[in-house]
Amino acid sequence: MARLIKVNNISSPARTSRSGRQLNNNTMKKDFVFPLIIGLILGGLLMMFWQFNARLNNARVAVSQLEQATAQNTKTVSDIVAFINQATGQNQAAQGTPETTPAE
């Protein structure tokens, strides 16, 4: 029994004329690779700077809140010290005026 084997003997120019495009191994040209690499590098740098900016803004907000809390605590402590000085009479003694007693 004889087998029928179909052999594809179409030449390369005939194959390219039927497909409508050139068949070669360089489907991605070198002209496209360089801008792609540059774009990826620039995109990575842009993302790094964006992350840095976001963290810097968070740190700036935290420092601002810390400054506000420090200012409020400083005012509270100075008010407490002033109240204690007034209650014990140390404020007048510090100014150089002697304390008077009610018996005098």
- The model's pTM: 0.47
By residue range, what is the domain housing residue 68?
A: 30-89
Residue 20: pLDDT above 90?
no
Cβ-contact 70, 77 below 8 angstroms: no
In a domain, 11, yes or no: no
Tell me which long-range contacts 77-81 makes (C-beta under 8 A, separation of at least 24): none
Cβ-contact 23, 12 below 8 angstroms: yes
Residue 37: pLDDT above 60?
yes
In a domain, 1, yes or no: no
In a domain, 82, yes or no: yes
The pLDDT of residue 12: 57
Across 92-103, average pLDDT: 56
Q: How many domains does the chain have?
A: 1
The pLDDT of residue 104: 46
The pLDDT of residue 26: 59
The structure tokens listed for 98 are 């002697």
In a domain, 12, yes or no: no
